[in-house]
Amino acid sequence: MEQKRKITLGISVGDPNGIGIELVLKAFEDKRIFDFFTPVVYAQSQTLNFQRKQLGLKTPFVTLKNEAKKSKTQLNVVELDLPQFKTEFGQPNKESGAYALKSLTTATQALKSGAIDALVTAPIDKHNIQSEVFSFPGHTDYLAKTLGGTSLMLMVADQLRVGLLTDHIPVKDIAQTITGDLIESKVRLMEESLKLDFGIPKPKIALLGINPHTGDNGVIGNEDDEVLRPKIKELKEKGKLVYGPYAADGFFGAQQQQHFDGILASYHDQGLTPFKTLAFGKGVNFTAGLNKVRTSPDHGTAFDIAGKGTAEVSSFEEALFLARQIFFERSETQAILEQKND
């Protein structure tokens, strides 16, 4: 595996009134990072220039006019076809939503066509980005629809990998959404990703229960007994290394995550609360199951600190390097599989 080779990395900047552009500028202010990436940023040069001055940064960038002549030492900016944007830090509005959407759709098409090797998405505002083009609860569902395939939201920090059976849905809908078919699909996606993207040949996966104490034998709900346990038993009989359901309240406190390659939580906060407690600042959101690589930082737009120059860039940097790592790991694994099939 040629780990020294750069990858062409696309970056959508998210809501420009949030901290997304600040993260991009900060990450690439250190010239050493260009040893690993040829970055392509989907934005407007005037927006980057304004925010660069406001934040006192010196990150170099150039407008990309020829795909074949990308700069190796500067951000390559693909100009968005939008009216000139006026930055209003901390103020999500219709214009910033349209900017975030245009950045995302343009970057996604580049990813789909192979113009970039992988995509890192800066945070969007899930309200003001809504439109006829984007009617999704977040990046994950949009990318699954646009790129094709079934996706799994997978949070990654070193050896900790937490996926979700259900992600951005109301709490009241969780129990009825979790079916045997859904569990099997998400287990398959996690198992395939752990093999293909992380190089783990026989991954062990833990499932967290739906109800407190996994239902206490039906005292606090029947879903764990009627849905989770039978499906886990069936998957084990098929040779899957799947275990549980585990009571979620004590799982991480007892350090049980250390015994598994991946953990599937039943719903968003059940998985992301402990994940962010353990890994905030270095966690990455990876969309498993797609035929392309996409990552993002584990936080939102942070409108409350936008424009103040205080945004912490570590999670964004982790997202850059995880995208690169997965791109190479996946390429190597696919090459090995192709050789075996010849």
222-276: pLDDT as tens digits: 999 999 999 999 999 999 999 999 999 999 999 999 999 999 999 999 999 999 9
297-335: pLDDT as tens digits: 999 999 999 999 999 999 999 999 999 999 999 988 877
44-63: pLDDT as tens digits: 999 999 999 999 999 999 99
| ∠ CA 47-51-54, rounded to 5° | 145
pLDDT at 137: 87
Distance CA 280, CA 282 (A): 6
Structure tokens at 69: 């002549």
Mean pLDDT of the chain: 94
Domains of the chain, with CATH numbers? 1-149+290-342 (3.40.718.10), 150-287 (3.40.718.10)
pLDDT at 2: 46
Which amino acid would we find at residue 147?
A: L
Supply the pTM of this predicted model: 0.92
Element (H, E) at 207: strand 205-208
Q: How confident is the model at residue 289 (pLDDT cuts 50, 70, 90)?
A: very high
Tell me if 123 sits within 8 A of 297, measured CB to CB. yes
Backbone dihedral region of 331: left (phi > 0), alpha (psi from -120 to 50 degrees) or beta?
A: alpha
pLDDT at 342: 62
CA distance to 77, 92, 141, 263, 264, per residue, from 260 (Å) = 41, 40, 26, 7, 10
* φ, ψ of residue 162 in degrees (nearest 5): -120, 120
110-148: pLDDT as tens digits: 999 999 999 999 999 999 999 988 998 889 889 999 998
Tell me if 16 sits within 8 A of 305, measured CB to CB. no
Tell me if 301 sits within 8 A of 14, measured CB to CB. yes
> Please, which residues bridge with residue 262 across strands?
205
Q: Is the dihedral of CA 323, 326, 105, 188 positive or negative?
A: negative
> Please, which residues bridge with residue 164 across strands?
265
